[in-house]
Amino acid sequence: MSEQSATTTPVPGVRLDRQPGEEALLADGSTVSIRPVLPADRPQVLALHAERMSEASRRLRFLGTSRRAPELTADRLCGPLRPERCALGAWAAGVLVGEADFEAAAERPDTAELALAVADAWQHRGVGSLLVEHLVHAARERGVTAFEADALAGNGAVHRLFSDLGLPVHRRYTQGEVRIRVPLTEPDPDERYLRAVEQRSRTADLASLTALLRPRSVAVLGASRRPGSVGQGVLRKIRDGGFRGELWAVNPRADRVAGLPAYPSLEALPRIPELAVLAVPAAAVPELAGECGRAGVRALVVLTSGLDAEQAGRLLHACREHSMRLVGPNSLGLAQTDPAVRLDAEFGGAFPLPGTAGVAVQSGGVGIALLERLAWLGIGVSTFVSLGDKYDVSADDLLQWWEADGRTDLALLHLESFGSPRAFARTARRVTRRFPVLTVDAGRSPAGRRGAAAHTAAAAVPAATRAALFEQAGITATRSVAELVETAALLHAQPLPAARGAVAVVSNAAGIGVLAADACADAGLSLPALPAALAARLHRALPDGAGTGNPVDTTPAAGPDHLLPCLDLLERSGAVDALVVCLVPTALTDGPAREPLRALLDGRGRRRLPVVLVRIDQQVPVAYLTAGDGGQVPSYADPRSAACALARARERARLLTRPAAPEAVLRGCDPAAARRLVDGFLTERPNGGWLDPARTADLLECYRLPLTTTVWATDEHTAVLAARSLRLLGHDGRAVLAAHRPGDPVRAPSRTAGTDHEARTAFRELTASSGGRAEGVVVRPAAAPGTDLRVGVHQDGVFGPVVTLGLEGPPDEPVARLAPLSGDDPSAMVADSPAAPLLADLPDPTAVHRVLVGASRMAADLPQLTEARLAPVVVRPDGVRCADARVRIEPRRPFDPYLRRLRRRPRPGEGR
């Protein structure tokens, strides 16, 4: 599923004629625009039904033949806009190629009649499925719970469409016609439906990327005669790299470039290329992209940088209009090392080695450095793509390509921005189950985030939010390009350790062994004491004076005939999960053949346990040693690098031990009531604000969030009566009174009261101290002592809803996850939070999990919920109670991150 940005979608009360189109991919990789059918579209609708559909198609569509059916349909779809009806069209290059609509009856507003039509030339390309998916989204937003439709029994295409949709389908046969009913029972797509949408998305994505990543012909536009120019450099690399397809240079002022014939224009080429590489000035890019599209080019790589917003919009418009996929602009280029393709269309300094690592970067400089380091290490690349400004093709696209290409078994990413993080996380969560996905966590500091935002024109992302994305997606995050390569070296060549992460350090120099042990401990690995029986066997295998604890000190006198049995004993013992071998050259061994390193070179590099080598005399940070059996052992110059790589391998092992978890389920919630509450509040206050205490309690009740019993008191008498009744429920027979000041996000002052007099005094003091701003007080029982947590929700401008968990009190860095949470996210949040030791002995640890799932579901259901603070959430052995809550609502249109659509076009005056 391609990366997306937050765009508007049809919602109740919003004029459909003001909704922009959503561009999406069909099963064959072509692009259509999905938008509402408007009154002005009547000629197109009439032409679709009367001219672009055969008599047989019309008979299937209208359950018979009728000359007036197309005209009546056009009148109905293009008549006055009504909230109970939604009609969407699919447009290709300005031509309507399909339409789907639903209309709810007044007596059954929760059930809508569905109709669908696709032009004959566009059937079997996924137009119908795409339209129905968008209608499902619109219907759910309008409260429609089921679609119904009539179809002839022989209309196999429509029956397959509904069967493959991913939703339950019920059919009733009557005299040659079939009445179809499709329940839309959940407020959000269920897992089965999402999997079906994802499968259709992958099919479309792979089809659209084939011309880009496996082209049979390439043209370089802007291939200059000037040596050292970008265009000529890329042309030379394609030629010298042995590209298997046809290659052409386009330059209107040259006969030959780099020894190849040059053509004055696209039209002059012998054939239309599948892929065009553009290395022309920014001002020329949009027009040239349009020429490529009109000629039939299927994909573009734009190396040019410096496009302004208007040029960017025109470039992407040309790509969308003509179904071209786009890499860039501001791209270094791409490379495909498959022997059947051998395309190196990038202007880095080295040719990527063929191999199995997929690489995607945003920064060209990072891409050059990464390719060089991988080449030096000997790790080959399956596909390399420099995403540049990432107008279209994204990391999400490439993960799906690598998942299916049959060559890639390791993915390396450098990303500075995210289009649709939740869609990316869902793709990555699936892909990381198949092979490791590593990234550089760029922009951890405020200065780094500012730099990334300036570089990519994307919003700066908080470090905790980005870390949540990587954690939920199963992505291994490193802190630098060096760490990325060091970790890749281990994961590429060695098996994973067991999830517990127990390490044995073996060294022929005690001091180096101590440094390695410290590094392992700092990285979160454990060095268990070795069992006595194992220590005794090691003592017999090693020279006199050897230390057989952990670290194991083999002494400088140990040679290969000592070291190899030592490693074999440790591997077979089951006491450890990984081996760190630290070796320094000494003069005590009997010649080069006795050097301890020969134990690894002549011995076994392919072991059941991962083995890493530390050689502090090594001149490069990481290298491979090839053992006698052909296995490769990564060798590090610094023990900290080896330990960090092992720790990340252990994290991946832990990921794979956890079963893939679907979205967390919250039973008994009432999202419909929550939406009505929010709609009512925004009707009263169109600009939004903080909910009053009564509405806050009602909203939390919709999601089973355990707010302490509260009473909203607007006068002194009511406050005293409420405090009197709630004191019986409170700790030590006391109640708490807190002022409510509308519009004030700061928690209001509170007072405790054990008598009527104290309650009366508290009410007066609280209302007086507010300077007349308090509308009343909230009265609740005093909470008994326990562990005080704070659970929060906020809408991130890039990542969508984020759920946080921390300890109440002094500020700390909360644990964050993107909503909606998966089934194993709540327990992981608790385990990673500062509160974990305090919650370890709870009789029901899932009580806190349910609060997190409730907050997540509330945030995912209500895009208008911009902020929620539940604090303190008091956790005691007898249960969990939220003592106070604040919720802010603002007008905001819903956004479905799983709806199939391409990234929207940059608009004038806005960043990429």
Quick: pLDDT tens for 385-426: 999 999 999 999 999 999 999 999 999 999 887 767 878 888
Window from 361-365, 457-461, 715-719 with minimum mean pLDDT: 457-461
Helix (H, G, I), strand (E, B) or coil at 90: strand
DSSP-H helix ranges across 685-823: 693-702, 716-727, 756-769
Single-letter amino acid, residue 608: R
Tell me: do 149 and 45 sit in the same domain.
Answer: yes
Of 458 and 714, the one with more pLDDT: 714
Single-letter amino acid, residue 427: T
At 16, the pLDDT band (50, 70, 90 cuts) reads very low
Q: Are 127 and 98 in contact (CB under 8 A)?
A: yes
Tell me: do 122 and 52 sit in the same domain.
Answer: yes
- Would the pLDDT of 1 be above 80? no
Helix (H, G, I), strand (E, B) or coil at 286: helix
Radius of gyration of the chain (CA): 32
Of 492, 519, 542, the residue at which a domain comes to its end is 492
- Give the pLDDT score at 487: 97
**Among candidates 111, 78, 88, 333, which has minimal Cα distance to 230?**
333
Quick: pLDDT tens for 615-648: 998 999 999 998 877 789 999 999 999 999 999 9
- Would the pLDDT of 289 be above 50? yes
DSSP 547: B
CB neighbours of residue 666 within 10 Å: 20
**Among candidates 720, 692, 719, which has minimal Cα distance to 888?**
692
Quick: pLDDT tens for 538-557: 999 999 999 999 999 999 98
Tell me: do 76 and 169 sit in the same domain.
Answer: yes
Peptide bond into 843 cis (omega under 30): no
- Give the pLDDT score at 467: 85
- In the block, residue with structure tokens 């009531």: 673
Say if 207 falls within a structural domain. no
Q: What mean pLDDT comes out for the span 186-205?
A: 83
- Give the pLDDT score at 90: 97
Distance separating alpha carbons of residues 18 and 40, to the nearest angstrom:
13
**C-alpha torsion angle, residues 534, 535, 537, 543 (rounded to 10):** 150
- Give the pLDDT score at 8: 29
- In the block, residue with structure tokens 């890749």: 488
At 252, the pLDDT band (50, 70, 90 cuts) reads very high
Per the DSSP assignment, residues forming a β-bridge with 96 are: 91
Peptide bond into 820 cis (omega under 30): yes
**Among candidates 378, 384, 411, which has minimal Cα distance to 477?**
411
Q: What mean pLDDT comes out for the span 191-202?
A: 90
- Give the pLDDT score at 18: 35
- In the block, residue with structure tokens 């252990």: 650
- Give the pLDDT score at 160: 94
Q: What mean pLDDT comes out for the span 838-860?
A: 90
Q: Are 9 and 17 in contact (CB under 8 A)?
A: no
Distance separating alpha carbons of residues 290 and 321, to the nearest angstrom:
9
Q: What mean pLDDT comes out for the span 228-257?
A: 95
Say if 336 falls within a structural domain. no
Peptide bond into 436 cis (omega under 30): no
Both tokens of 496, joined, read: 């994973």
Quick: pLDDT tens for 556-587: 988 888 999 999 999 999 999 999 999 988 75
Distance separating alpha carbons of residues 130 and 127, to the nearest angstrom:
5
Helical pair 42-50 and 69-77, crossing angle rounded to 10 deg: 150
Q: Are 377 and 371 in contact (CB under 8 A)?
A: no
Buried b / exposed e over 807-821, threshold 16 CB at 10 Å, is bbeeeeebbbbbbbb
Alpha-carbon torsion (80, 81, 84, 86), positive or negative: positive
Tell me: do 648 and 511 sit in the same domain.
Answer: yes
Tell me: do 361 and 406 sit in the same domain.
Answer: yes
Tell me: do 260 and 314 sit in the same domain.
Answer: yes
- Give the pLDDT score at 12: 30
Say if 53 falls within a structural domain. yes
Say if 85 falls within a structural domain. yes
Quick: pLDDT tens for 350-384: 889 999 999 999 999 999 999 999 999 999 999 99
Single-letter amino acid, residue 534: L
Look at the chain and report how many structural domains it folds into. Answer: 6
- Would the pLDDT of 832 be above 80? yes
With a pLDDT cut of 90, the percent of the chain lying above it is 63
Say if 6 falls within a structural domain. no
Tell me: do 45 and 104 sit in the same domain.
Answer: yes
DSSP-H helix ranges across 619-712: 639-657, 671-684, 693-702
- Give the pLDDT score at 692: 87
Q: Over the chain, what is the mean pLDDT?
A: 88
Distance separating alpha carbons of residues 257 and 253, to the nearest angstrom:
10
Single-letter amino acid, residue 842: L
Q: Are 127 and 48 in contact (CB under 8 A)?
A: no
Both tokens of 533, joined, read: 């029986």
CB neighbours of residue 294 within 10 Å: 14
Distance separating alpha carbons of residues 385 and 414, to the nearest angstrom:
11
- Would the pLDDT of 7 be above 60? no
Close Cβ partners of 728 (under 8 Å, ≥ 6 residues apart): none
Distance separating alpha carbons of residues 694 and 712, to the nearest angstrom:
7
Task: Annotate 700-724 with three-state secondary structure.
Answer: HHHCCCCECCCEEECCHHHHHHHHH
Q: What mean pLDDT comes out for the span 206-225?
A: 97
At 3, the pLDDT band (50, 70, 90 cuts) reads very low
Strands 611-614 and 622-626: unpaired
Single-letter amino acid, residue 64: G
* Domain of residue 246, CATH code: 3.40.50.720
Of 614, 631, 657, the residue at which a domain comes to its end is 657
Strands 31-36 and 22-25: antiparallel
Say if 205 falls within a structural domain. no
Tell me: do 237 and 258 sit in the same domain.
Answer: yes
- Would the pLDDT of 186 be above 90? no
Task: Annotate 472-541 with three-state secondary structure.
Answer: HHCCEEECCHHHHHHHHHHHHHCCCCCCCCEEEEEECCHHHHHHHHHHHHHCCCECCCCCHHHHHHHHHH
**Among candidates 73, 43, 41, which has minimal Cα distance to 58?**
73
Q: Are 346 and 332 in contact (CB under 8 A)?
A: yes
Q: How many residues does the chain have?
A: 912
Tell me: do 422 and 374 sit in the same domain.
Answer: yes
At 744, the pLDDT band (50, 70, 90 cuts) reads low
* Domain of residue 753, CATH code: 3.30.1490
- Would the pLDDT of 187 be above 80? no
Quick: pLDDT tens for 464-504: 888 888 988 899 999 999 999 999 999 999 999 999 999 99
Tell me: do 31 and 99 sit in the same domain.
Answer: yes
Of 447, 475, 492, the residue at which a domain comes to its end is 492
- Give the pLDDT score at 747: 58
Question: The domain containing residue 427 runs over which residues?
Answer: 348-492
Per the DSSP assignment, residues forming a β-bridge with 111 are: 146
At 322, the pLDDT band (50, 70, 90 cuts) reads very high
Task: Annotate 97-139 with three-state secondary structure.
Answer: EEEEEEEEECCEEEEEEEEEEECHHHCCCCHHHHHHHHHHHHH
Could you tell me the CA-to-CA distances from 444 to 137, 450, 474, 635 in Å, in that order? 36, 10, 18, 28
With a pLDDT cut of 70, the percent of the chain lying above it is 91
Buried b / exposed e over 199-216, threshold 16 CB at 10 Å, is ebbbbbbbbbbbbbbbbe
Tell me: do 250 and 360 sit in the same domain.
Answer: no
Distance separating alpha carbons of residues 817 and 692, to the nearest angstrom:
27
* Domain of residue 379, CATH code: 3.40.50.261
DSSP-H helix ranges across 322-439: 364-377, 395-404, 421-431
Distance separating alpha carbons of residues 802 and 804, to the nearest angstrom:
7
Quick: pLDDT tens for 35-52: 999 999 999 999 999 999
What's the distance, Cα to Cα, between the start and end of the chain in Å?
Answer: 19
Distance separating alpha carbons of residues 361 and 358, to the nearest angstrom:
10
Provide the whole-model pTM: 0.86
- Would the pLDDT of 894 be above 90? no
Could you tell me the CA-to-CA distances from 226 to 195, 230, 351 in Å, in that order? 51, 9, 21
Quick: pLDDT tens for 591-601: 544 477 777 77
- Give the pLDDT score at 39: 93
Could you tell me the CA-to-CA distances from 480 to 28, 294, 413, 439, 484 in Å, in that order? 39, 43, 11, 9, 6
Single-letter amino acid, residue 529: A
- Give the pLDDT score at 189: 56
Window from 72-76, 309-313, 707-711 with minimum mean pLDDT: 707-711
* Domain of residue 59, CATH code: 3.40.630.30
Strands 552-553 and 325-327: unpaired
- Would the pLDDT of 451 be above 70? no
Per the DSSP assignment, residues forming a β-bridge with 95 are: 92
Say if 4 falls within a structural domain. no
Say if 341 falls within a structural domain. no
Tell me: do 183 and 271 sit in the same domain.
Answer: no
Distance separating alpha carbons of residues 542 and 566, to the nearest angstrom:
7
Q: What mean pLDDT comes out for the span 760-786?
A: 83
- Give the pLDDT score at 907: 43
Could you tell me the CA-to-CA distances from 479 to 384, 645, 681, 901 in Å, in that order? 21, 12, 45, 32
Distance separating alpha carbons of residues 277 and 245, to the nearest angstrom:
14
Both tokens of 857, joined, read: 């579901």
